[in-house]
Amino acid sequence: MEAFYGFKDGSGDWFVILDTDKCDGCGQCAEVCPANIFEIGEDEYDPFSEETVAKVKDEERKKIRYSCAPCQPGYGETPPPCLTACEPGAISHSEGWKVLYGRI
């Protein structure tokens, strides 16, 4: 299940995309994120599932554009720490940061 956490407004698409099918609930993303946007808990979108998965905290969703910006997702010299920390590759970002702040 792909969860798009974030928002779209006049300035662009700002989403952190979490694939709960790939996520194994290891919690590394929550450890390494400098903005502390992740938490680990039960899968809220499948009431019958017993798995623990990562999600973006509710209070972080609306500010995600600013929280993720320092890690330069999509255009930085190194990928954001959450991507590097996630072995199953369950995390990705939308294009917003790259489009608005990335240098061609």
Partner 1 sequence: MIVSGIDVGGKNIHGVIINNGDVLARANAAAGINKAKAIEGLYGELLDKAGLKREQVERVVATGSAGKRVAFADGVIPDAAADSRGINRLIPTARTIIDVGAEEGRAIKISPEGKVQDFAINEKCAAGTGTFVEAMARALEISVEEMAKISLESTKSISMNAQCAVFGESEVVSLIHAKTPKHDIARAVHDAIAGRIGSVARIVGLEKDIVMIGGMSLNTGFVESLKRELAMDVIVPEDPGYVGALGAAIAASTGTMEEEVEAKVIEKDDYQEG
Partner 2 sequence: MAEEANKQEYWRWPESTWINPDIDWKKGKIITAGVDVGSVSSQAVIMVDGELFAYGNTRTGSDSPDSARKALSIAFGETDLKVEHIDYCIGTGYGRVNVPMAQRTITEIACHARGANFMYGPEVRTVMDMGGQDCKAINCDDRGKVLNFMMNDKCAAGTGRGMEVFADLISVPVWEIGSRSFEIEKEPPMISSTCVVFAKTEVVGLLEQGMPDNEIMAAYCSAMAHRIMELLNRLGVKEKFVITGGIAKNDGVVRRLEKELGISTAEKAWHKPEYSAYPFETQIAGALGAALFSYALLDRGKAKSVRKA
Query: What SS3 class is residue 9?
Result: strand
Q: Which tokens belong to 49?
A: 């599932």
Alpha helix (H) residue ranges in the chain: 28-32, 64-68, 81-85, 96-101
Kindly state the helix (H) or strand (E) to which residue 93 belongs, with its residue range. Answer: strand 91-93
Q: Residue 38 touches which of partner 1, partner 2, none (CB < 5 to 8 A by kind)?
A: none
Is residue 29 part of the contact set for partner 2 (CB under 8 A)? no
Q: Which tokens belong to 95?
A: 């294009």
- Which residues 26-85 are close enough to bind partner 1 by CB under 8 A? 59, 62-63, 65-66, 69-70
- Which residues 32-91 are close enough to bind partner 2 by CB under 8 A? 44-48, 61-62
Q: Residue 1 touches which of partner 1, partner 2, none (CB < 5 to 8 A by kind)?
A: partner 2
Q: Which tokens belong to 69?
A: 């910006």
Is residue 99 part of the contact set for partner 2 (CB under 8 A)? no
- Name the residues that contact partner 2, by CB under 8 A: 1-4, 6-10, 13, 15, 44-48, 61-62, 94
